[in-house]
Structure 1
Amino acid sequence: MFYIFHKPLKTGLNRLATIFILILALGNIVTGFIPADINLFWHSIAAQLDMITVLPGLWLYAKSLEIGKRWTQYCLVTLLVIVTLNMLIIFIPMHAGLLQRLFYLVIFIWGTVLAFILSK
């Protein structure tokens, strides 16, 4: 029998990581109901909240997974680079919407590939 998570790690950390990922999903729902062209302030608040909370969620998963650990770490580093670029928009003109969509694409690919890795 194999374990996906390290045994000594408490399931509370895994639950917390899952809650962080769920906050990402809820933030996506809110940003769908509040488009940027209707209310940029609340759209941005919801988008930034879910972009920030997913990072500790992935970090907790990367810490606790045995299978798919490297993949999760790679995606976490990629997301950190995207968030850093997003913060640099103040100094370097870049397309914020494109960076946001790239962020969500990495999350989607992470979840899809991790599901395949864990199913083996």
Structure 2
Amino acid sequence: MSAFIGSWKLCESQNFDEFLRELAASTSKPTITFDKFGDNGLKMKTETILKTTEQSFTFGEEFDETTIDGRQVKSTVTKDSDTQLTQVQKHDDGNTVIVRKIEGDMMVTTATFKNITSVRKYQRH
């Protein structure tokens, strides 16, 4: 889990515009910061030019989340390993699955909704 602690700035994005169109969401280039939350969770702060959101969660427990584009979802984040997290967002249109994986000084985020997958890379900063 400590591999995620710190601030991550988006440096690469693939297929994200199509992914957002499918969700009917807006484009952004966020900076994501993780901090420890309790004994078994993280606090995730997502900052864009237009908006900042902050979410604290305990691994494996469902929580209410307002996404960066304002949608209300039910989310569950599981810790797959010290370097990988999987988040499932449940919403009216289905489920979005987001996998965040640390690879060296990069965090690779793969988000899938319906048949659209987006890969975004964040540089530790």
Tell me the TM-score normalized by structure 2: 0.24
**If the length of structure 1 is used for normalisation, what is the TM-score?**
0.24
Higher helix share: 1
Greater share of residues in strand: 2
